[in-house]
Structure 1
Amino acid sequence: MPSPSSALIVVPARHGSTRLPGKPLLTIAGRTLLERVHAVASAAAELAGNCAVVVATDDARIAAHAQAIGAAVTMTDSALDSGSSRAYAAAAAWPNRPDLVINLQGDAPFVPPAVVAGLIATLRGGEADVATPVYRLDWPRLDRLRAHKQTAPFSGTTCIRDAQGRALWFSKTILPAMRDEAKLRASGPLSPVWQHLGLYGYRLAALEWFAQAPQSPTERLEGLEQLRFLEAGRTIATIAVDPPLHAMSGIDTPADLALAEAAIARLGDPYPL
């Protein structure tokens, strides 16, 4: 039986965050953000099999910390403008170019390893260019998303998908619009809205194309990288997952650090002992 397609999980970790400089080195409940994300990546790689992990950074301090926690490191150009471009640079520099690349953002410590491994399994078992997870919102979660968008309209991405799980569109607007919403609410606990969990798996050829292609018109308007693929006619498979227990998509501000510590105190620490 042939071995499965080789995979590489890349953890992009920049020092120069505008809102939270040096955030990969900041601690949450006694562990650095990078240490937590690397632990997720390592557990996912073990689940997936034939999979390696590398931290991609542009900063010597982050590289030194990554090496101290036992992570492989590759240095990437600080001029790269996205995590996906950094992921491609890391994959291109890897000694054995992988078939599949996972971009696990360095500020996402609460992603379950099984979700990351699931992206690899989906790409190995199908023909999509990209795979990404989504979760269906119940009505209270949808209400909270709507309220949050009153003050942060570009926080939270929704997805329209077909019956086979292929993504038709992503938007910072809440999609779909709903006629007769009261009737829908009365019919069951789940809304028709799917929210995107910002994590991607790519075929290397698709990621290479992305790194060389210009921004697409709607990508520029929405600020969503995945629209570059859709506007070019490429296929994104969405994977339905459970709503995240720790409902934080990323750590961007000092307030987010405090919220993350509070969530760990309330819900338990996902970091493996």
Structure 2
Amino acid sequence: MTSFAIVIPARFASTRYPGKPLAMLRGASGQARSLIERSWRAACEVKGAAGVFVATDDDGIADAVRAFGGQVVMTPSTCRNGTERCAATLSQLPEVDVVVNLQGDAPLTPAWIIPDLVAALAAAPHAAMATAALRTSATTYAHLARDAAEGRVGGTTVVTAQDGRALYFSKRLLPYLPDALEAKHERMRLHLGLYAYRPDALRWYAAQQPSSLEDLEGLEQLRFLEGAAPIQVVTHDPVGWDCIELNNPQDVPAIEAILAARGLD
């Protein structure tokens, strides 16, 4: 068995949504829980993990995590993104084969995708890391398209080679889909905020400077691609609900509606 630990990077100073990890989301019964607690609860549903750790440099987030029973790893404020924050936890984690990064703004991620991702990385010795994507449903595509039309940065899309190797990730909707194309959503894949890294790949990443495309797109995984470190993408069919990330305050009602529809408190 491939051993793995789950790390949830969380920072207070989000450009688009300051204080986002502590934003409150109401569940099916009306009970409000913070975004970071909901992400932690989603991670705790995963079977076989050596532990679930929230990585942060913010005392307020750390206090909130300890209050609901989570484990915290304090990381330097100089970490520029979640992958660097995961790298900074390595000395404080159990010794594992794989470190999984579950982004703290993705509480709707299905738990069963994580073991699949770990297994995919173990089966792809050429890859530095693996990540997950979903074929978009009609409603997810509509959400992404609405964000784009209204000038908001929403989810991230990914395009791959036939063998699943990532070609590019973007906050734009990729690939280009002609207006006349029917069932556009079937041609697009939503990247999930989920990564599985080999520890050595994390150390390599932390030793590199941010890449030019990473800076332009604001997508940390592009540092791997520009450094010729292959990324394996595991694509799944839609899971029955829209895996919307909390990127903007406008996303809160949509996420709360999905929590209510799924009966999640």
Considering the TM-score relative to the shorter chain, is it more than 0.5? Answer: yes
Look up the match of 1:224.
219
The structure richer in helix per residue is 1
- Which structure is larger by alpha-carbon Rg, 1 or 2? 1
Q: Which residue of 2 aligns with 1:251?
A: 246
- Measured against aligned partners, the alpha-carbon deviations of 1:165-207 in whole angstroms (never above 9, x if no partner) come to 121222233333356x64x52xx78632222122211111111
Q: Does 1:102 align with 2:100?
A: yes
Aligned with 2:107: secondary structure? coil
Q: What is aligned with 1:195?
A: 190
Partners in 2 of 1:115 and 1:15 — Cα distance? 27
- Within 2, Cα distance between the matches of 1:91 and 1:211? 11
Computed over aligned residues only, the root mean square deviation of the Cα atoms, in angstroms, reads 2.5
The residue aligned with 2:29 is none
Q: What is the aligned length?
A: 259
Work out the percentage of aligned pairs sharing the same amino acid: 39
Aligned to 1:150: 149
- Taking structure 1 as reference, are residues 62 and 154 closer, same or farther at Cα in structure 2, changes over 3 Å only? closer
Instruction: Output the amino acid matched with 2:51.
Output: A
158-167 vs 170-179, which moves further: 170-179
Residue identity opposite 1:33 in structure 2: L
1:246-273 Cα shifts (integer Å, max 9, x gaps): 43542244433333223323x12345xx
Gaps of 5+ in 1: none
Answer 1 or 2: higher relative contact order, Cα 8 Å, separation at least 6.
2
Q: 1:269: which partner in 2?
A: 263
**Range moving further from structure 2, 167-176 or 232-241:** 167-176
One-letter amino acid matched to 2:110: P
Matched with 1:207 is 202
Task: Tell me what 2:89 maps to.
Answer: 90
Unaligned runs of 5+ in 2: 27-31
Return the letter of the residue paired with 2:129: V
| Structure 2 CA distance for aligned equivalents of residues 234 and 208 of structure 1 | 13
Equivalent pair of 2:141/2:185 in contact (CA under 8 Å): no
Could you tell me whether the CA contact under 8 Å between 1:9 and 1:54 is conserved in 2?
yes
Candidates 45, 48, 65, aligned match of 1:43: 45
Deviation (angstroms), 1:19: 4.5
Give the Å deviation of 1:144.
5.0
Conserved in 1, the CA contact under 8 Å of 2:99 and 2:199? yes
Distance 1:136 1:19, change over 3 A: closer
Q: Which amino acid aligns with 1:172?
A: K
